[in-house]
Structure 1
């Protein structure tokens, strides 16, 4: 026998001995098997049978980190037209070297776009016109469907956006001179006059633009330049917001759209009665709500080089009496459903709700499923509802322990 074969024989003998030892440890004998109860983990699936769509159409969209501007025809979520509104502060920090008393300066608008997000044709070019806003507004209370008046007869500026992420826009002297009148006003009522008379600018998409970009509020500002443009002062934003006009939204059978703007959300009725009938005495160790996204529809609806900002989680809130969009969009949700990596479904742990429904005083059985967000980036997804095929319907998965005799 060779030395190699002797080594293999010794190894096989040792492994065989170990297997015998482990088998002996794991098997207590026939008497123990007959009379010992072993806990078994099992699962039950309860379908969420009652869902409906909620159209709020008045989500907040002002003074968020990002704004939205542009046009895009989304085959799933409709034709979207987003207009941005910006207003400078009245008292910027202007260095002594920059002379503004005689209006012998110029102004530009610098728009810094989010470098990671473009909604639509990533290789396309979008065109915009800039007009003076003529109606009173406030960023903190601005809603996504609020329409502001602006004077289209008085063009303040024009620009295009391709692949660049920083845009400088020349502004008309007529608007600059109007701003200067408030800038140089030292009367006691100067701030009040500015608040009620000077309303900033609207950035309006024009033509058949095929994308929506997202200005970063912290990187968007007005610039004051001296006559030879050798000295510059930065003027931060005082208010900013955007409005959306969404039209021609197609209906997807068995699914509801969800938007970060809360234009659409899904109402579900929790299967509380079935839960009580089947699991009032169960030893529940885990309860999870599952929601499936219509991933195939979402992917197949995007042409080459087109992109739609993605969704990583859903938020679940117990239904309020007043359908309070502020709570659904701007506060922390009651439950969070992160997307499962490399999958097309979201999973929300709801142990607290289930325990309260079974053993506590929980009487509310309605939840709002949405993706409300205060970032300003437009995000949407498509979630299967109770009319979808059985394997795609929302469901409650109950994991519990039972004792079985061997």
Structure 2
């Protein structure tokens, strides 16, 4: 009887504080997708701005519905062969009690499902940056539907689901270095190898049309990332989430400095685009590692990621793949760096007692990290290329050459991001009763 009383006392109970914290973190992660839309939207040319915004925004609709219908069950249901999960009670998020807790935590299952939903939404949106200017919106929507079903939901189970092969192997991924960033970066590479380059790649100037928009997006991502990272510990009871919060800030700041230092040495200037990209590279790299390393380790990871990602973004010109907005260079490379460096910088005093090479733990964890990194990379790359090829050969993945040259915003959305027809005054204003000459309708340089 005494044993029964002890067990009852030890059973977790719902924590209003942790529940409220996780709801806020879920909202912060949701904000990252519009933030990503602004980040990407500012980096493209004027004629592609709305399409870039929509490629992120549509993920909020599609993935939400799929997650409710079956995605949560596939990702976090009962393990089936270490590859997928399934729980029929979670189909449609049905048969879940209001106060039913997630695992051994103190938060409701509904809250955990909502938090993980925001990760599922963001991940395919990350891929879109590699495909700027040239993908049919309908084809992109179909690709998201297939990709999260075939790639993201199973990979999330591998990494975070109890019984998943990477989870059981002991791969450390605090908040998504493999499941989110390597997964999205490898997928981006797979798709662009299928659909090819933009017209004018390496010939025409393709500069960002709005660097303030890029900086706004980067700021929103940085802000939302605190929920993304610190929230992934699912509570505030032991300080690990606080460590992750601090390391998120530290690594990101270090990556900005690393990127800018490399840029100044290599190109002679400190650019705003470099600062924004450096911040994102640091956020990506610390995502898997921040719960396992010290703040000093976070500085090292941030600087390494900032420099190596800055170097990596130029590889597309060397190897000839058109990664429009550097998804491969930042998310794939940054995710690999952060995941592998756990094997060197893990202190054994954070989320677990696992120690990296620099703290006396040898290379055991490093090899586990390699297995997780390259397993996810290979599967996502191949599966994403196959899905893109199927779509490309059926309904077609790309817009026509004329539509791409004229502008995908007008072709796919019948809108333009900026309308200056009513700007100014006096003679510069076009009378409502006067027809607009064709030349006048194209004043904005696309």
TM-score, normalisation: structure 2: 0.21
Structure whose CA Rg is larger: 1
In terms of fraction of residues, the more helix-rich structure is 2
For normalisation by structure 1, the TM-score amounts to 0.22
